[in-house]
Amino acid sequence: MHGEVLLGVMGILMIATIVWALIQSKTNPVPIFVIVPIIAAVIVGFGPQDIFEFIKVGVSKTWSTAVLFIFSIVFFSLMGDVGLFDPMVNWLAKKAGNNIMAVTIATSLIAVIAHMDGALASTLLITIPAMLPVYKKLHIRPVTLLVIIGAAMSIMNLVPWGGPVARTGVVLNADVNALWQELIPLQGIGLVILVVFAGYMGMVEKRRGAGLNPTGEAALLDSTIDEGDNIGPSQADFDEMKRPKLIWVNLIITLGVIGLLCFTKIPLYGAFMLGLALALIINFPGAKAQSKAIKMHADTALTMPMILLASGVFLGVLSGTKMMESMATLLIGLVPEAIGGHLQTVFGILGVPIGMLLGTDSYFFGLLPLAISVGENFGVDGHNMAMAMLISKNYGVLVTPHAATTFLACGLAGVEIKDMLKFCAPRLFILSLISLATGAMLGLFTI
């Protein structure tokens, strides 16, 4: 009834259908994440009781992140409304002028610093709200901001307290610090590649006409980047929200929230709940003013959490039906025997697309052990396999269509997931291949 091959094929078809539907943008992601997995589970023979249990488990894993979305998006949007970022935006815009490369390179460096704690969510929550207003003022596409942050997180995520290296250490039963020491030279070169890539993206935006006085394609952003569909608060509403006299108070609140994110074990959503509560009381005395401030961003603050909670249905079905494990086994079985001795290179090259398909935990705890065991039959050392798969997969952290951080990035930047995937995935895939080749040259694994 639940044959492994059937489960594997159905899992791949389900994910392919979801990704295709998201890119086509024919419907909202909520019904896609709910209906497609339920149909897939029914096809492979699971009944209502099983499916409802899968949903319950899946949603229980995403609700805390959904709460984080609500409070973090409203908090940072509110800080933008009251004018906290205005001085920095004006200063950077004035200094940069038409030197768009300076802004994109600065973005990469800010993202690197923000990712020192190894947490994807806090990096996005710090970097996007700080830099997005600058990008808007200089008419640089928000997807450019996302791809630079994605590249920065990918190379910085190799720190020992980052998830991928820790997971690899568990699978190999190896010391995490020892793994990291091997990866340090790659990280050093990767940071140079990151800055070059950020500068290149700045050149691309400059050619599009980005700058304080936009020309060419960038000028088209004038009417779209801020106003969207022209639905929602007017410019007068935003002007009314400014609180220039409270800028230092708001800065202290924001730094306090960031401090809680980086240096304490308080849940991320708890830090934003506290910050938002203080910000509302200080900036908007009275229930009516506070309600208006919240409603200004109710659309975005509710849309993304709904998508994330719906994705819990997908994750629950994928895990509960064992489709994930079956997909990993199926992918291993598709490898021709002729290339068995180079299996680590094959999986390294395919790290980003397979990572997008499986997600982080299933990639490292499902596929990696299988790949190591199969590779050993062809004489491939387990350490070689793990290094190749770790180095390349990292570049898919921001473009996994069923990961919470992907939707957090889209929500904060105001970018549709289809646009993000189309723009970021190919560029990050190319960077993964460059990183993989660099790792091979440094002797981290044999080809």
**Residue 436 counted as domain residue:** yes
Place of tokens 């660099």: 438
60-74, 177-191, 210-224, 328-342 — which one is most confidently predicted on average?
177-191
Give the model's pLDDT for residue 441. 92
Q: How far apart are CA 45 and CA 3, in angstroms?
A: 10
Tens digits of residue pLDDT in 18-63:
878 877 767 778 898 899 999 999 998 899 999 999 999 988 877 8
**Residue 403 counted as domain residue:** yes
Higher pLDDT, 168 or 90: 168
**Residue 313 counted as domain residue:** no
State the pTM of this model: 0.76
Q: How far apart are CA 145 and CA 141, in angstroms?
A: 7
Q: How far apart are CA 433 and CA 438, in angstroms?
A: 8
Average the pLDDT over each of 214-218, 277-281, 379-383, 399-403 and give the range with the smallest value: 214-218
Percent residues over pLDDT 70 in the chain: 90
Structure token pair of residue 13: 């078809």
Tens digits of residue pLDDT in 121-165:
778 887 888 888 889 888 899 999 999 999 999 998 887 776 788
Q: What is the phi-psi region of residue 366: left when phi exceeds 0, alpha when psi lies from -120 to 50, beta otherwise?
A: alpha
Tens digits of residue pLDDT in 292-314:
888 887 777 787 788 878 888 88
DSSP category for residue 365: I
Q: How far apart are CA 108 and CA 431, in angstroms?
A: 14
**Residue 265 counted as domain residue:** no
Give the model's pLDDT for residue 425. 92
Structure token pair of residue 117: 């704690």
Structure token pair of residue 80: 């933008």
Instruction: Tell me how many degrees the CA angle 57-68-364 measures, rounded to the nearest 5.
Output: 55
Give the model's pLDDT for residue 341. 73
DSSP category for residue 363: I
**Residue 418 counted as domain residue:** yes
Cβ atoms within 10 Å of 73's Cβ, excluding its own: 23
Structural domains in the chain (count): 1
**Residue 227 counted as domain residue:** yes
Q: In this structure, are residues 360 and 398 in contact, taking their beta carbons and an 8 Å threshold?
A: no
Q: Cα dist. 405→82, 102, 185, 259 in Å?
A: 26, 26, 27, 20
Higher pLDDT, 307 or 238: 307
Higher pLDDT, 370 or 224: 370
**Residue 318 counted as domain residue:** no
**Residue 40 counted as domain residue:** no
Spatial CA neighbour of 267 closest among 257, 252, 253, 281 = 257
Rg value, the chain, Cα: 22
Q: How far apart are CA 426 and CA 150, in angstroms?
A: 12
Q: Give residue 410's domain range.
A: 85-231+335-447
Whether the pLDDT of residue 1 is over 50: the answer is no
Instruction: Tell me how many degrees the CA angle 9-15-21 measures, rounded to the nearest 5.
Output: 130
Give the model's pLDDT for residue 93. 64
Tens digits of residue pLDDT in 311-370:
888 888 888 888 877 877 777 777 776 676 788 888 889 888 888 887 777 788 777 887
